[in-house]
């Protein structure tokens, strides 16, 4: 349509010319009101940390596409200063209305805001109460102000996408009900009545003004692009209407980090320095089912009929086990929506988004996903809200302000009984010791927040293991994560994944062409296996060294904060009621380890043990190897492969129970109402299920010794190319010449 308008204008069509001129003049933008010099607003203060589960509770995930209905669940659980209309069911609507009666819009203010997931529904809920109507668009709002001492980076971006004005500033002099004047251009906040200065601040970028004026970052990017095209078509020089992102220094740096090189490659340059605005190509994009319907709606808004990203994958892991009627409709309709646009759709019951998507990745490429744990073990991903995910899928690129990096370097030798999960927790533990991370929310320090976590020193890890580390970078509020791996584990993983993708084609998964293209790209990498490396002189915001020789007992994250990393000896003996072994943090080895610890247990466990393997292939293998029989014998509750308890929207642990979980995060109320959740390894979790308490380090090591003896058998991973039942089927699949050609063109 755009080209057609250009031709018509060039051909002399008066109306087409007017349309082109209007776009060239950026009237779509200039006609909208600028951000006011002074914004008067009433403070709605939420003390401590607001995570996205507080704003968009998982049990209400089914109503996310219905913004006004879903908004009723925002902050539905009582906390200091927040009085829900009906505790646990309806949020503080009356309190909000009362504050609004002061005559000003409300600003959402908190110490730490938006930690947790990438769910755009959290943004939508705030904007529903604190934003402005969008002309001719019902049940959706834009604008609004969000203030926080710390605003989680993905949440910040999602706010930008939605047209809100997020500002990081000192909130210590603000209280609920205060009326304040925000002077965004001056960077100062004052008391409305007295004029006293409350704090000064600097916006993250001046481009925020344009984003708010345009109705969001995505409308701005698209509109700015069309204005540029219109001006080019009319032979005009570049528009000066917009504030452009400030470029980082043009001097060539002494070296690039691994992430900077990966993003550079996706932008067609050698590297991208922190602070540079860029639009890296999105090679792989993931979408899960509680945000999927919102992503679908955003794709419709973008008029996307075909994905430009090379591979877009949709999963059903968050709702398959206990679907609500609305989920059943999604299960029936979303697969076709995705496949018809060239994406790959999984099926309900297949398992967790990441356990599948990771197996579709290409080394040193960039992607994103509508799930905050989209954290590739090879390559890098920058998780995002559903709007940005739709944008990335539709256009094949994503706007990115390149973050700084923090280097985590492991040295030394892993000690007996220590698991990879302990190393995951060693990262916040060490950061706390170094004063780079604090657990308290007021004045919180977090060196990882908004930065890229770059991990070195464990290059021998299998990709499945590496994902445990990258997955947990979400809990650090990191923007992304890279892991330096050797070629061998990556080649092993890709060979296995080629078999799996061929098996998928044979099983009728689609879009077939996309799967074929990805197989061809993987084969291309295997034929010429080259991996990027960080330059020795690359610089980092901080370097955290972790000596494996010094980690001699398990590290857990105490209730209910994934940053609260503690040694087992400091929490030993705590009584445990329930145990969850599952989530994307687990792989088949964890279940074998648990099975081996449980197999000699006589009778039924004194605790409730939940088992949920990440994929149906894991479940099938564990059944074949007899582990399901062991789990059944001790009275474990066996759940459908998928997110299970981790997401908190399906089955739940008992109210106020104490739990050991292998899941990703232990935010308050996520696994169960009032539950106290320790995060720990599957091995420690299994031991707690037997003892009904957290063991002492000595007790733990006694059990761990038993596992050491059979480690080679226990920690085997899913190498599909070595499993006859998959390889035999895969052997029948031929990759078309067309797919090979397309892969060659894309990835060289
Ligand atoms: S298992 Fe948990 S963290 Fe992983 S994708 Fe599912 S809900 Fe998210």
User: Which is higher by pLDDT, 441 or 736?
Assistant: 736
- Model confidence pLDDT, tens digit, residues 73-120: 999 999 999 999 999 999 999 999 999 999 999 999 999 999 876 678
Highest mean pLDDT among 4-18, 151-165, 541-555: 541-555
373 CA → ligand 1 middle, Å:
7
Q: What angle do CA 652, 657, 658 make, to 5 degrees?
A: 110
Q: How confident is the model at residue 2 (pLDDT cuts 50, 70, 90)?
A: low
Residue 12 has a pLDDT of 83
497 CA → ligand 1 middle, Å:
21
Residue 3 has a pLDDT of 62
Residue 436 has pLDDT above 60, yes or no: yes
* Rg, the chain, Cα only: 26
Closest CA to 483 of 497, 494, 493, 469: 469
Residue 633 has pLDDT above 90, yes or no: yes
352 CA → ligand 1 middle, Å:
7
Residue 1 has pLDDT above 60, yes or no: no
Closest CA to 341 of 374, 373, 296: 296
Q: For ligand 1, atom 3, which residue shows the shortest CA distance?
A: 664
Residue 421 has pLDDT above 90, yes or no: yes
Q: For residue 150, what are the β-bridge partners?
A: 112
Candidate from 317, 612, 613 with most ligand 1 atoms within 8 A of CB, to mutate: 317
The alpha carbon of residue 199 and the mean position of all alpha carbons in its chain are separated, in whole angstroms, by 32
Cα 470 to Cα 245: distance, rounded to the nearest angstrom: 29
Candidate from 351, 643, 662 with most ligand 1 atoms within 8 A of CB, to mutate: 643
624 CA → ligand 1 middle, Å:
25
| pTM of the full structure | 0.90
Closest ligand 1 atom number to CA of residue 317:
6
Neighbouring CB atoms inside 10 A of 326's CB total: 16
Task: Give SS3 for 218.
Answer: helix
Question: How many CA atoms lie within 13 Å of 673's alpha carbon, on the beta-carbon side?
Answer: 8
Q: Give the pLDDT mean for 453-471.
A: 98
35 CA → ligand 1 middle, Å:
38
Cα 733 to Cα 553: distance, rounded to the nearest angstrom: 48
Q: What is each CA distance from 594 to 149, 469, 590, 598, 684, in whole angstroms? A: 42, 20, 6, 6, 9
646 CA → ligand 1 middle, Å:
6
Candidate from 51, 115, 371 with most ligand 1 atoms within 8 A of CB, to mutate: 371
Closest CA to 427 of 321, 329, 516, 542: 542
584 CA → ligand 1 middle, Å:
6
Cα 63 to Cα 81: distance, rounded to the nearest angstrom: 26
Neighbouring CB atoms inside 10 A of 15's CB total: 10
Closest CA to 408 of 389, 431, 392: 431
Closest ligand 1 atom number to CA of residue 614:
1
| Tokens matching residue 744 | 């060659």
Q: How confident is the model at residue 588 (pLDDT cuts 50, 70, 90)?
A: very high
Q: Encode 573-587: b = buried (16+ Cβ within 10 Å), e = exposed.
A: eeebbbbbbbbbbbb
Task: Give SS3 for 597.
Answer: helix
Residue 249 has a pLDDT of 67
Q: How confident is the model at residue 374 (pLDDT cuts 50, 70, 90)?
A: very high
Strand ordering across the sheet containing 165-168? 165-168, 145-151, 106-115, 39-51, 179-183, 188-191, 197-200
Closest ligand 1 atom number to CA of residue 117:
8
Closest ligand 1 atom number to CA of residue 288:
5
Closest CA to 350 of 622, 582, 640, 637: 640
**Using a 6 Å CB cutoff, which residues line ligand 1?**
317-318, 352-354, 371, 373, 583-584, 643, 646-647, 663-664
643 CA → ligand 1 middle, Å:
5
605 CA → ligand 1 middle, Å:
26
Average pLDDT over the chain, rounded to whole?
Answer: 95
Cα 214 to Cα 162: distance, rounded to the nearest angstrom: 10
Task: Give SS3 for 277.
Answer: strand
Percent of the chain, pLDDT > 90? 88
Q: For ligand 1, atom 7, which residue shows the shortest CA distance?
A: 647
Residue 126 has a pLDDT of 96
Cα 615 to Cα 622: distance, rounded to the nearest angstrom: 11
- Model confidence pLDDT, tens digit, residues 315-348: 999 999 999 999 999 999 999 999 999 999 999 9
Q: Give the pLDDT mean for 29-33.
A: 96
Closest ligand 1 atom number to CA of residue 372:
8
Cα 107 to Cα 94: distance, rounded to the nearest angstrom: 16
Q: How confident is the model at residue 270 (pLDDT cuts 50, 70, 90)?
A: very high
Q: How confident is the model at residue 142 (pLDDT cuts 50, 70, 90)?
A: very high
Q: Give the pLDDT mean for 285-292.
A: 95
Candidate from 286, 291, 313, 318 with most ligand 1 atoms within 8 A of CB, to mutate: 318
Highest mean pLDDT among 131-145, 540-554, 733-747: 540-554
Q: Say which range, 44-58, 478-492, 595-609, 612-626, has the weakest mean pLDDT.
A: 44-58
Q: Give the pLDDT mean for 496-502.
A: 98
């Amino acid at each position: 349509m755009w080209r057609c308008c250009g031709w018509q204008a060039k051909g002399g069509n008066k109306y087409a010319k007017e349309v082109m001129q209007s776009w060239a003049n950026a009237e779509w933008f200039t006609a909208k009101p600028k951000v006011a010099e002074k914004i008067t607003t009433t403070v709605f203060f939420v003390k401590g940390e607001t995570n996205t589960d507080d704003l968009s509770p998982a049990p209400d995930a089914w109503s996310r596409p219905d913004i006004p209905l879903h908004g009723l669940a925002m902050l539905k659980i009582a906390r200091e200063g927040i009085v829900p209309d009906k505790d646990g069911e309806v949020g503080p609507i009356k309190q909000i209305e009362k504050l609004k009666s002061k005559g000003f819009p409300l600003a959402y203010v908190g110490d730490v805001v938006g930690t947790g997931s990438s769910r755009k529904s959290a943004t939508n809920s705030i904007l529903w109460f604190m934003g402005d109507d969008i002309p001719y668009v019902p049940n959706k709002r834009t604008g609004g102000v969000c203030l926080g001492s710390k605003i989680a980076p993905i949440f910040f971006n999602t706010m930008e996408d939605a047209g809100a004005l997020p500002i990081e500033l000192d909130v210590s002099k603000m209280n609920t009900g205060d009326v304040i004047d925000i002077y965004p251009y001056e960077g100062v906040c004052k008391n409305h009545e007295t004029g006293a200065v409350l704090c000064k601040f600097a916006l993250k970028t001046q481009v925020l003004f344009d984003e708010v004026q345009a109705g969001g970052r995505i409308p701005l990017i698209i509109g700015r692009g069309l204005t540029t095209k219109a001006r080019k078509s009319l032979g005009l020089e570049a528009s000066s209407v917009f504030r452009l992102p400030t470029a980082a220094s043009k001097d060539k740096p002494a070296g690039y980090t691994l992430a900077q090189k990966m993003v550079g490659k996706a932008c067609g340059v050698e590297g991208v320095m922190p602070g540079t605005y860029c639009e890296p190509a999105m090679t792989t994009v993931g979408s899960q089912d509680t945000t999927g319907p919102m992503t679908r709606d955003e794709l419709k808004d973008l008029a996307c009929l075909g994905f430009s990203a090379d591979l877009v994958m949709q999963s059903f892991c968050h709702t398959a086990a206990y679907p609500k009627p609305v989920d059943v409709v999604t299960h029936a309709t979303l697969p076709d929506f995705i496949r018809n646009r060239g994406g790959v759709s999984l099926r309900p019951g297949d398992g967790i988004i990441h356990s599948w998507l990771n197996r579709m990745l290409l080394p040193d490429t960039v992607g994103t996903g509508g799930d905050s744990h989209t954290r590739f073990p090879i390559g890098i991903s920058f998780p995002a809200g559903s709007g940005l995910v739709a944008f990335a899928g539709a256009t094949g690129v994503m706007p990115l302000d390149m973050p700084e990096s923090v280097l985590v370097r492991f040295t030394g030798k892993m000690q007996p009984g220590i698991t990879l999960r302990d190393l995951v927790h060693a990262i916040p533990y060490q950061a706390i010791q170094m004063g780079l991370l604090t657990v308290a929310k007021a004045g919180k320090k977090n060196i990882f927040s908004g930065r890229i976590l770059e991990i070195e020193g464990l290059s021998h890890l299998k990709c499945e293991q590496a994902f445990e580390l990258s997955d947990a970078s979400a809990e650090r509020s990191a923007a992304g994560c890279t892991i330096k791996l050797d070629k061998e584990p990556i080649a092993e993983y890709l060979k296995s994944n080629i078999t799996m993708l061929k098996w998928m084609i044979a099983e009728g998964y689609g879009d077939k062409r996309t799967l074929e293209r990805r197989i061809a790209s993987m084969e291309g990498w295997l034929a010429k296996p080259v991996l990027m490396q960080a330059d020795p002189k690359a610089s980092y915001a901080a370097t955290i060294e972790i000596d494996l020789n010094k980690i001699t007992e398990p590290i857990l994250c105490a209730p209910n904060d994934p940053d609260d990393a503690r040694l087992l000896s400091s929490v030993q003996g705590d009584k445990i009621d329930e145990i969850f072994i599952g989530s994307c943090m687990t792989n088949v080895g964890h279940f074998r380890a648990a099975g081996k610890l449980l197999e000699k247990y006589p009778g039924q466990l004194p605790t409730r043990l939940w088992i949920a393997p990440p994929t149906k292939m894991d479940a099938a293998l564990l059944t074949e190897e007899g582990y399901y029989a062991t789990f059944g014998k001790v009275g474990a509750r066996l759940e459908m492969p998928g997110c299970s308890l981790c997401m908190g929207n399906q089955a739940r642990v008992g109210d106020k129970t104490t739990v050991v979980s292998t899941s990703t995060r232990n935010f308050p109320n996520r696994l169960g109402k009032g539950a106290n959740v320790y995060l720990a390894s599957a091995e420690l979790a299994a031991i707690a299920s037997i003892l009904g308490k957290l063991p002492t380090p000595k007790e733990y090591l006694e059990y761990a010794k038993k596992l050491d003896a059979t480690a080679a058998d226990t920690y085997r991973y899913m190498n599909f190319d070595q499993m006859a039942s998959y390889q035999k089927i895969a052997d029948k699949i031929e990759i078309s010449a067309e797919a090979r050609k397309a892969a060659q063109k894309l990835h060289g």
